[in-house]
Amino acid sequence: MNFVESRNLQFEYIKYDDETDEKTAVKALKGVDINIAKGEFVAVLGRNGSGKSTFAKLINGLNIPTDGILYVRGLDASKEENIWDIRQNVGMVFQNPDNQIIATIVEEDVAFGPENLGMKPSEIVKNVDMALKAVSMEEFRNAAPAYLSGGQKQRVAIAGILAMKPECIILDEPTAMLDPLGRRDVMETVTMLNKEEGITIILITHYMEEAALADRIIVMDNGRVAMEGTPREIFSRVEEMKALHLDVPQITELSHIINKSVNSFPSDILNIEEFTDAFKYYGWNKAFHHKKENASPKYNKPILEVKGLTHIYGKETAFEKVAIRDIDLTVGQGDFIGLIGHTGSGKSTLIQHFNALVRADEGEVYFKGKNILEDKAGLKYIRQKIGLVFQYPEYQIFETTIYDEVAYGPKNCGLSADEVDTRVKEALAFVGIGEDLYKKSPFDLSGGQKRRVAIAGVLAMKPEILVLDEPMAGLDPYGRDEILGNIKRMHDDLGITVILVSHSMEDIAAIADKILVMNKGSIAMYDTVDNVFREPERLTAMGLNAPQLTLLFKRLKDELGLDIPVNVYDVEEAAKILISALKE
Amino acid sequence: MNITLGQYYPVDSIIHRLDARAKILATIIYITAVFCAKGVIGYGLCIGFLALVIVLCKVPFKLMLRSLKSIIFIIIFTVALNMLFIRTGREVFSLGFIRITTGGILTAVKLCIRLIILIMGSSILTLVTTPIALTEGIERLLRPFKKIGVPSHEIAMMMSIALRFIPTLIEELDKIKKAQMARGADFDTGGLVKKAKAMIPLLVPLFVSAFRRADELAMAMEARCYRGDINRTKMRELVYGRGDFYALGIVTALTICVIALRIIL
């Protein structure tokens, strides 16, 4: 018998509308047949609202099926008396590390599950030791979770499940809120648990590179299973995936495009190693067509200047920490700057100085040549001109209607009612929120829509510089593309100078002109996209990465001695270059 | 952000290793002693005991002094009040209606000492005991009252979750405040009504977030098989050791001495 077996599994919940007092039944799952074998590593993909999380919660007994059959470990999951047995053997790790850690000390938190199961104290100690060791967090056993990084917190959460000795772990977007290093650590832990401990893994994710590590992928759409197969099978169906608003790894897409022109080239390559091997096997003959590397950065008139900026948290206390040290930086008018750096590198602290939300211990910030703290027009003017969109901006929403939410900023600027109205409408139209939604509550929107409303709230202030702190975090591929497209248009069409903080090197490469790399509170690099990604080793050492395509091209160049550039960030363009040389 | 008030200071000391119940009980007994103290010897004993604990617990003295910072106004206020209104003993100073007497000064000094050792004594409890151990200690001490309907486990669980989430929510509030400031919000100027209105953009998101977190936390706890204290065990079950009895013995002896001194003198 399979570990998980479902037949025509259905789940519906009641949605309550405040305004109309209407209750409607929403079908989240509309008949799902899934089998998962013991020891298997399954990735579940699907856009937001496709039913992935609902399915996961059913397996763990957090939801009870409305209809259909669900067996977990041979136990009927629709029967109340089996729930505890199931939960004990199927652990679940959630997206937000902060909201699943219960205790104030790491080891106490890991012990929480075993304590609930009524294990003997000696056994709990043993299990906690084992679990912390498995996720390489032994040295933090007495630490307070508040002082850990996101990746470390997620590993503590995994340890908390492991200590219960489960047969299966479900992870619901465990890396959505993490930086590249944290993501890597969590994925290594998960893969190790599957391969070495034989634990069944069900991984829900929006990252295609993570899904590629699984034995099998299940793609869900609209409450049903849309596709099922090995990563190789699934990702080679590029068009189908895109139609479902999903993505495929860049490498796979590249091989798929090449395959269309050169039919005998494999179309289902999953990673860089395989690609290099395939290329080696295939051989090449002609000279490569490619653009010349463009090394000189374009120079724009300075709009924002930072001089000798230092910020220390908790000065003269036991918790003193230098967040940024002696930062010098010039941003040109019309620049599009990608800001990258590991968690705690000082990115967020730095950008909060740009509009004087925090005061520096040393150093100044100048907007158009004037010190922002001494500008006669005042702080309100500065904050209007330098817009800042925080991480998860939808968490700052408070108004009762979408219109009022966006109007909050312009109203604070003291504009006339007419001007406020024009700006709200312009901003909402720009992010693609229609007039029919103006009077709706922003809390009723989907995650991606909420975020666009929140961004519109800053855009409506007509900033000349817009700083966005990870605006794509936690969204599905479709939502990510939408936001990214909006930002690009703000830069290209509205002429706004953009500083974009992101953990996605692919996004940064595709959209930015320059990259600012922060490391341990200092600027490690500030150069053109090409020059920064030219040295992937340096980035890796800082807990970062280069885009997949860059890594591939660098490998082809170094290992096979191909005469190709490494500054290629677009799949179509990469395909064109490689096709030009492959043997017919 | 001041996070040291009543925060655990992680070092290893004899005091740290004591059972949380013993520490809570000892603190209560000690407070009784301080309230009963009279005369130089009585106060001397209390201060001496406090000094001994301070040395033994290895927490930097500077950190303890910081806990006094928050009550400095209360101290000044009580001292001033006592000096002004107690009029016994010899007059030391007078100006208009202000008359300061030896009796007033003496009472003020006594009160001041009492307040300081009270605050320091109780802040030591939270400096040397993890919040979790503290709540567990309270749970265990309340357990006998469970029969008369005191939900000791639930109280302890709520306390520990509150402790866990206070820093998170403070951080969140700071973030929301900055985000609204970035949208031109002004929290500092204007009258009372305007200021109260300005709080809405802070409080609504904070509550929404707190509820969302509560919801997710409840789910995570359920997923880890939490169902109240049914069949629940503890990784570190509290066990009284020899040291705990010594500690309780010493502090009880101190209190008896202080009370005896009060009666005799």
Give the model confidence (pLDDT) of A242-261 as tens digits: 999 999 999 999 999 999 88
Test the A interface: residue of B139, B225, B230, B238 with most A CBs within 10 Å: B225
The mean pLDDT of B197-221, rounded to a whole number, is 93
Test the A interface: residue of B129, B183, B194, B202 with most A CBs within 10 Å: B183
Q: Give the amino acid at A257.
A: I
Percent of chain A with pLDDT over 90: 70
Contacts of A357 in chain B (CB under 8 A): 178, 181-182
| Residues A100 and A150 sit within 8 Å (Cβ to Cβ) | no
Higher-scoring residue by pLDDT: A264, A522: A522
CB contact under 8 Å between A103 and B132, yes or no, is yes
Segment among A283-292, A329-338, A387-396 with least mean pLDDT: A283-292
CB contact under 8 Å between A461 and B184, yes or no, is yes
Q: What is the largest CA-CA distance in chain A?
A: 75
Report the alpha-carbon distance of residue A172 to residue B89 in Å, rounded: 74
Token pair, residue B158, equals 């709520």
**What does the H/E/C string look like for B150-209?**
CCHHHHHHHHHHHHHHHHHHHHHHHHHHHHHHHCCCCCCCCCHHHHHHHCHHHHHHHHHH
Residue-level pLDDT at A19: 67
Helix/strand/coil for A37: coil
Class of residue B41 by CB neighbours under 10 A (exposed 0-12, middle 13-18, buried 19+): middle
Of A258, A307, A265, A245, which is closest to residue A448 (Cα–Cα)?
A245
Q: Which residues contact A254 (CB under 8 A, 6 or more apart)?
A: A269, A275, A549, A552, A571, A574, A575, A578
Q: For residue B228, how many C-alpha atoms fall within 13 Å in the half-sphere facing its CB?
A: 4
B4 pLDDT band, cuts 50/70/90, is very low
Could you identify the residue written with the tokens 């920064």?
A: A532
Helix/strand/coil for B88: coil
Residue-level pLDDT at A296: 61
Report the alpha-carbon distance of residue A231 to residue A236 in Å, rounded: 8
The mean pLDDT of A141-162, rounded to a whole number, is 90
**What does the H/E/C string look like for A96-143?**
CHHHHCCCCCHHHHHHHHHHHCCCCHHHHHHHHHHHHHHCCCHHHCCC
**What number of residues does chain A have?**
584
Give B59 to chain A, closest Cα distance, Å. Answer: 12
User: Chain B neighbours among A 382-401 (CB < 8 Å)?
Assistant: 383-384, 387-388, 390, 393, 395-398
The mean pLDDT of B199-205, rounded to a whole number, is 93
Contacts of B1 in chain A (CB under 8 A): 314
Residue-level pLDDT at A286: 65
Residue-level pLDDT at A583: 63
| Residues A248 and A241 sit within 8 Å (Cβ to Cβ) | yes
Give A411 to chain B, closest Cα distance, Å. Answer: 8
Report the alpha-carbon distance of residue A347 to residue A359 in Å, rounded: 15
The mean pLDDT of B47-53, rounded to a whole number, is 93
Contacts of B4 in chain A (CB under 8 A): 317-318
Task: Name A30's bridge partners.
Answer: A10
User: Chain A neighbours among B 112-141 (CB < 8 Å)?
Assistant: 130-132
Convert the pLDDT of each residue in A445-492 to its tens digit: 888 899 999 999 999 999 999 999 999 988 889 899 999 999 999 999
Q: Could you give the C-alpha distances from B87 to A28, B114, B165, in angstroms and in order? A: 78, 20, 49
Residue-level pLDDT at B122: 85
Q: Give the amino acid at A70.
A: L
Indicate the pTM of the whole model. Answer: 0.84
CB contact under 8 Å between A383 and B217, yes or no, is no
A317 pLDDT band, cuts 50/70/90, is low
What DSSP state is assigned to residue A493? Answer: T
The reply to whether ipTM tops 0.95 is no
Token pair, residue B202, equals 């802070």
Mean pLDDT of chain B: 86
Which element (helix H / strand E) includes A27?
Answer: strand A22-36
A297 pLDDT band, cuts 50/70/90, is low
Nearest residue of chain A to residue B9 (CA atoms) = A318
Q: Which residues contact A393 (CB under 8 A, 6 or more apart)?
A: A451, A454, A455, A457, A458, A471, B179
Q: Over 50: is that where the pLDDT of B2 sits?
A: no
The mean pLDDT of A560-575, rounded to a whole number, is 86
What DSSP state is assigned to residue A419? Answer: H
Of B256, B258, B252, B253, which is closest to residue B41 (Cα–Cα)?
B258
Q: Which residues contact B207 (CB under 8 A, 6 or more apart)?
A: none
The mean pLDDT of A305-333, rounded to a whole number, is 88
A402 pLDDT band, cuts 50/70/90, is very high
Reported for B157-162, long-range contacts at CB under 8 A and 24+ positions apart, including other chains, are B159/B131, B159/B135, B160/A102, B160/A103, B160/A104, B160/B131, B160/B132, B160/B135, B161/A102, B161/B217
Convert the pLDDT of each residue in A404-419 to its tens digit: 999 999 999 889 999 9
Residue-level pLDDT at A92: 95
Of A359, A383, A337, A357, which is closest to residue A501 (Cα–Cα)?
A337
Class of residue B264 by CB neighbours under 10 A (exposed 0-12, middle 13-18, buried 19+): exposed
| Residues A167 and A90 sit within 8 Å (Cβ to Cβ) | yes
Contacts of A62 in chain B (CB under 8 A): 219, 222-223
Orientation of helix A106-116 relative to helix A150-162, angle to 10°: 30
Report the alpha-carbon distance of residue A28 to residue A45 in Å, rounded: 15
A464 touches chain B (CB under 8 A): no
Helix-, strand-, coil-residue percentages of chain B, each rounded to 5: 75, 5, 25
What DSSP state is assigned to residue A81? Answer: G
Q: Over 50: is that where the pLDDT of A379 sits?
A: yes
Higher-scoring residue by pLDDT: B166, B50: B50
B1 pLDDT band, cuts 50/70/90, is very low
| CA dihedral (A137, A141, A145, A147) positive or negative | negative
Percent of chain A with pLDDT over 70: 96
Segment among A23-32, B158-167, B245-254 with least mean pLDDT: B158-167
Nearest residue of chain B to residue A390 (CA atoms) = B179
Give A398 to chain B, closest Cα distance, Å. Answer: 5
Which element (helix H / strand E) includes B240?
Answer: none
Contacts of B205 in chain A (CB under 8 A): 395-398
CB contact under 8 Å between B237 and A142, yes or no, is no
Residue-level pLDDT at B3: 41
Count of C-beta atoms within a 10 Å radius of residue B189: 8
Orientation of helix B102-128 relative to helix B72-85, angle to 10°: 160
Report the alpha-carbon distance of residue A560 to residue A535 in Å, rounded: 18
Of A442, A351, A144, which is closest to residue B9 (Cα–Cα)?
A144
Residue-level pLDDT at B213: 94
Could you identify the residue written with the tokens 């608003």?
A: A245
Report the alpha-carbon distance of residue A310 to residue A454 in Å, rounded: 30
Q: H helices within A504-565, ranges in order?
A: 505-511, 529-533, 536-541, 548-560
Q: Over 60: is that where the pLDDT of A566 sits?
A: yes
| Residues B54 and B61 sit within 8 Å (Cβ to Cβ) | yes
The mean pLDDT of A50-68, rounded to a whole number, is 92
What is the pairing mode between strands A321-332 and A41-45? unpaired
Nearest residue of chain A to residue B220 (CA atoms) = A100
Residue-level pLDDT at A117: 93
Convert the pLDDT of each residue in A186-215 to its tens digit: 999 999 999 999 999 999 999 999 999 999
The mean pLDDT of A505-518, rounded to a whole number, is 93
Q: Give the amino acid at A479.
A: G
| Residues A105 and A144 sit within 8 Å (Cβ to Cβ) | yes
Mean pLDDT of chain A: 90
